[in-house]
Amino acid sequence: MKREDFKAIIEFAIEREREAVTFYQELQEKVKFKSQQEMLKELEMMERGHITVLTNILEKGAENIVPKNVEDLHISEYLVKGEPSGELTYQDILIVAMKREEASTNLYKDLAKRFKGTETEGLFQRLAEEEGGHKLKFEKLYDEEILKNN
């Protein structure tokens, strides 16, 4: 793979992470409860961490990254995607966040397949698992706090 192609892919991933940071910042302004703001702030910081990792890879190259296995409850696959508008309920926030994390997970899985057999594959697998972990966090909250009450 050409260096320019590698650079373009990493820059694309960085841009996606920046979009996620903005998304979580905007949601923090829409939620009603401090605990919800804190959870979204935590996720914003995780996405900022991904930007740092990707920026380092862009500058130094991919290192040996060992993927980990993340559980998936598959709740988001059964929910309708909605865009945030107006005042959001806690359930709305969880659904939108799950769907975004699901899309990011799928993006990184697809990129890992494109780089099969390279160090970059491990990087994208690791990022997919990180995003899958965020999705799992939202799925567990949804399961415990929304589905349990219905």
Query: How many percent of the chain have pLDDT more than 70?
Result: 80
- Chain segment 26-58, per-residue pLDDT in tens: 888 877 778 888 888 988 998 898 899 889 888
Using CA atoms, how far apart are residues 32 and 28, in angstroms rounded to an integer? 9
Residues in contact with 36: Cβ distance below 8 Å, sequence separation at least 6, in sequence order: 90, 93
Q: How many C-beta neighbours within 10 Å does residue 96 have?
A: 20
Q: Whole-number mean pLDDT of the chain? A: 81
Decide yes or no: CATH 3.40.50.11540 for domain 3-147. Answer: no
- Chain segment 105-137, per-residue pLDDT in tens: 998 898 888 888 887 788 888 889 888 988 888
Using CA atoms, how far apart are residues 75 and 17, in angstroms rounded to an integer? 23
Segment 142-150 shows an average pLDDT of 82
State pTM to two decimals: 0.72
DSSP of 102-143: HHHHHHHHHHHHHTTTSHHHHHHHHHHHHHHHHHHHHHHHHI
